[in-house]
Amino acid sequence: MELIGRGRTAEVFALSRTRVLRRYHENTSAADEARIMGYVRERGYPTPEVYDATERDLVMERLHGPTMVDVLTRTPWRVGTLGRLLGSLHDRLGAIPAPDWLRPSLVPGDRVLHLDLHPLNVVMTPDGPSVIDWCNAAAGEPAFDLATTVALLRTVEAPNLVTRIGRRLLIGAIVRGSRTDHRPRLTEAVEQRLSDPNITAEEKERLRRLAG
Residue 131 has pLDDT above 60, yes or no: yes
**What mean pLDDT is reported for the chain?**
91
- Full 3-state SS string of 140-184: ECHHHHHHHHHHHHHHCCCHHHHHHHCHHHHHHHHHHHCCCCCHH
Q: How confident is the model at residue 4 (pLDDT cuts 50, 70, 90)?
A: confident
Residue 66 has pLDDT above 90, yes or no: yes
Identify the H or E element spanning 31.
helix 30-42
Give the pLDDT of residue 10: 83
pLDDT in tens, 71-107: 998 998 999 999 999 999 999 999 999 999 999 999 9
For residues 111-126, give the mean pLDDT.
Answer: 96
pLDDT in tens, 150-161: 999 998 876 555
Domains and CATH numbers, the chain: 2-61 (3.30.200.20), 68-211 (3.90.1200.10)
Instruction: Name the residue among 85, 90, 79, 81 with its Cα closest to residue 115.
Output: 90
Give the pLDDT of residue 191: 94
The proportion of the chain whose per-residue pLDDT surpasses 90, expressed as a percent, equals: 73
The proportion of the chain whose per-residue pLDDT surpasses 70, expressed as a percent, equals: 96
Instruction: Name the residue among 77, 84, 86 with its Cα closest to residue 164.
Output: 77
Give the pLDDT of residue 156: 84
Please give the residue that has the higher pLDDT: either 136 or 166.
136
> Residue 66 — φ and ψ, nearest 5°?
-80, 160
Give the pLDDT of residue 160: 57
- Report the range of poorest mean pLDDT among 56-70, 104-118, 198-212: 198-212
